Amino acid sequence: MRPLVVGAPRSGFALLSSVISQLLPMDPLRYGIKQRLINSAVRQTQHYISTAIEAAFTAAGVRDRLIYNGNFKTVAGGPKWLKADEPSRACFRKYLGVKGMGDFILVIAHPAEVLETDSIVHSHSHPRLWTELAQYQDFLKFASVRNPIGIVNSSLFSLNALASEYIQRYVDPRDDNDEMRQRLALFKFTNLDFFTGIVRHYKGYFDEFLPVADRFHVTRWEDLIDRSAETIRRVALQAGLVIEADHANQVWERLDHVNLTGAHEHNYRRGKGLVGDWKNWMTNAHLEIIREHGLEHTMEVFGYGRIEPLKEARYTPFQQRVAELVSRGKVFEDHADLDLFGFAFNKSNIDASAFAFRRYGWRVHSSIERSGFSDEAIVMAVWEAAEKAAGELNAVLEQLLAGDYSTETRAVASVEAAVALSAAMAERMPRVTAAMADELRATVRQAFADGSADVLEVDRSVPPLLIRSWNEYNLVSHRGEFSAIPRAAGPVDLTERDPHSIPGAIVRDSYESLRIALSDGVAN
């Protein structure tokens, strides 16, 4: 299985991706030697560019106030997409801010193969493009959808990772609650230009997605929430996997209404994720804007029906407040923390053409997509640092991709050519660069020693992964083997211990054969 997931922000995208990631250990990813080398280089240099970025902020004297969420610090971190005019490269969006100075969006481009360093290629953008490019024809394509009204509502309450990082550092934990989200959302609900920008963004996405929707396995967010096990089993079947109801329930238990986005601790709104909850927050004025922009057609295509007006007599106190402000043309702007308000402004899922951001073009490897930062000199210094570091890393990655791996001699020469290009990186981060060189050389040696140089092979750096529990066993996937480890054996590290040596363990070369062995009561 080579999974690719596309979905608009707030459409259940992270949830669907997480379901698939829970299924992947049953059918581990296998890579050609070039991709294994790219994986090694990116893994070892994960923070090369972010270190350069942080150094630029330090030189500007504002490092102590830098807002830079950990999700954006890795090479492939942040929202990502194929560069439409150059689809051999992929773009990765980084949000950067400084308390008291505003924020800006940096976009860095790398070879598109960097997308595959994640276990699942995933993107919010260009659904049509993924279906047209030859290099993605063999990928199993999934897509998340949700009632567009629910998507827009969730977007208005969502906090991006920049705001999340600010809250974690500067907001009293007692104030980190839903009341804070509601106050931030009041601006977005009452500023109809902002609201319309959100709607336009999603209209554009669905206009591109609908003509190619039949090329994806589409999963509705509402089905994952209301019919979890049934929907997970259907997703597994689409991936060519058969799982039992108990297995599907175990998958859902790991994912049910929890944060799934790592250092972005505010992606999930606690106590929410409820089907139809938008009816407690939207007003008829907002539904009319959604209808005027043509999203009702998308609703009908995916089985959500037409837009029905809400009964205003049943408005919640929040809806009543919003409706009263909207009727007076009044935008809610009573924000005690203007830094938080600025960072919480939706950046990726809004058509921002109506807002006065500074915008810059592309250099070779990066661009400043939008900026509201108060000191342009700092923006330029950070951009220069990111451009230089990205260029240095990309030179290595591009050489690895251009290499000849037909014989061991040529493969070694190709890797040494890439290592030679890392001289500039070695000056800045010698240990990281040396570790990268060592792993690249070791990868080539191993490939020709075990015969995997010209075949697809599992990434041996991936740690043991739990598939599920089964009666008295834990079922684990590691390096292409599938093991049923007795729970009575206690904690076991399969990176240090051969599963064949564990008393009572059952080991097979495929998950299906292990499942059959367990079903038949067969032991080693």
Indicate if the pLDDT at residue 98 is higher than 80.
yes
For the residues 248-260, what does the mean pLDDT come to? 81
CB 28 within 8 A of CB 458: yes
Q: How far is CA 505 from CA 471, 477, 500, 523, in A?
A: 13, 13, 7, 8
Whether 52 has a pLDDT exceeding 90, the answer reads yes
Supply angle C-alpha 432, 435, 436, rounded to 5. Answer: 85
What is the rounded CA–CA span in Å between residue 524 and residue 520?
12
Is residue 265 pLDDT above 60, yes or no?
A: no
* pLDDT score, position 177: 77
Rounded Cα–Cα distance for residues 353 and 357 (Å): 8
Burial of 206 per CB tally in 10 Å (0-12, 13-18, 19+): buried
The whole-number average pLDDT for the span 92-114 is 96
pLDDT (average), residues 217-235: 97
Find the radius of gyration of the CA atoms of the chain. Answer: 25
Task: For 271-323, write each residue's pLDDT tens digit.
Answer: 567 889 999 999 999 999 999 999 999 999 999 999 999 999 999 999 999 99
Residue 493 CB neighbour total at 10 angstroms: 8
Report pLDDT digits (tens) over 128-176.
Answer: 999 999 999 999 999 999 999 999 999 999 888 888 889 889 988 888 7
Q: What is the pLDDT of residue 323?
A: 98
Phi and psi at residue 504, to the nearest 5°: 85, -5
484 three-class SS: strand
Residues 6+ apart with CB under 8 A from 398: 111
* Averaged pLDDT for residues 254-262: 66
pLDDT of the residue at 524: 42
Output the six-digit token pair for 243: 């799982």
Question: If residue 55 lies in a helix (H) or strand (E), which one and from where to where?
Answer: helix 48-59
For position 345, what pLDDT does the model report? 77
Indicate whether 23 pLDDT > 60. yes
Both tokens of residue 524? 């080693």
Residue by residue, DSSP assigns 102-119 as: EEEEEEEEEEGGGGGGSS
pLDDT-derived band at 267 (thresholds 50, 70, 90) equals low
Q: pTM for this structure?
A: 0.92
What is the identity of the amino acid at 227? R
The closest alpha carbon to 510, from 492, 484, 491, belongs to 484
Among candidate residues 296, 206, 259, the one with its CA nearest the CA of residue 8: 206
> Stretch 213-234: mean pLDDT, rounded?
97
433-440 contacts at long range (C-beta below 8 A, 24 or more positions apart): 433/45, 435/44, 436/40, 436/41, 436/44, 436/45, 436/396, 439/40, 439/41, 439/43, 439/44, 440/37, 440/40, 440/41, 440/400, 440/415
pLDDT of 158 reads 85
In the block, tokens 């998340």 appear at 144
Whole-angstrom distance, CA of residue 29 vs CA of residue 120: 9
pLDDT tens, position by position, 179-189:
888 999 999 99
pLDDT at 519: 86
Alpha carbon distances (Å) from 274 to 186, 222, 256: 20, 8, 12
- Average pLDDT, integer, range 361-374: 94
DSSP secondary structure of 142-207: EEEE--HHHHHHHHHH---HHHHHHHHHHS-GGG-SHHHHHHHHHHHHH-HHHHHHHHHHHHHHHH
Task: Give the pLDDT band (50/70/90) at residue 222.
Answer: very high
pLDDT of 193-215, one tens digit each?
999 999 999 999 999 999 999 99
pLDDT averaged over the chain? 92
Tokens read off for 77: 């971190």
